[in-house]
Structure 1
C-alpha cells in the first residue's frame, strides 16, 4: 500500500485498515512460527504497511 493511497482514505477507513492489517500481521507471524513461510518478506511488507497507516493516523490527530 503506497503513501498516496493511504492519504486518500478517510480517518475511519484508516482505523479499520489498521485493525485488519494488525490482525493479518499477527496471523502471518503465528503461521511463520509454526512452519516457515515460503516468502518471509511478507512479514516485513505487512509490518511497514501497519506503520504507514499508524503514522498517517497520528499525523491527522496532531493537525
Structure 2
C-alpha cells in the first residue's frame, strides 16, 4: 500500500487496516518462528506498513 493510498483513507478505515495488519503481522511472525516462510521480506513490509498507518493516524489526531 502506497503513501498516497494511505492518505486517501478515512480515520475509521485507517484503524481497521491497522488492526488487520497487526493481526497478519503476528500470524506471520508466529508462522516464521515455527518454520521458515517462503518470503521473509513480507514481515519487514508489513512492519513498515504498520508504522506508516500509525504515523498517519497520529498526524490526523494532531490536526
Sort the TM-score into its range (normalised by shorter chain): over 0.9
CA shift at 1:29, angstroms? Answer: 0.4
The TM-score, its normalising length taken from structure 2, stands at 0.98
Gaps of 5+ in 1: none
The TM-score, its normalising length taken from structure 1, stands at 0.98
Q: Is 1:39–2:31 an aligned residue pair?
A: no
- Runs (4+) of structure 1 exceeding 3 A deviation are none
Between the aligned partners of 1:47 and 1:61, the Cα distance in structure 2 is 21
Superposed CA RMSD in Å reads 0.4
Gaps of 5+ in 2: none
Number of aligned residue pairs: 63
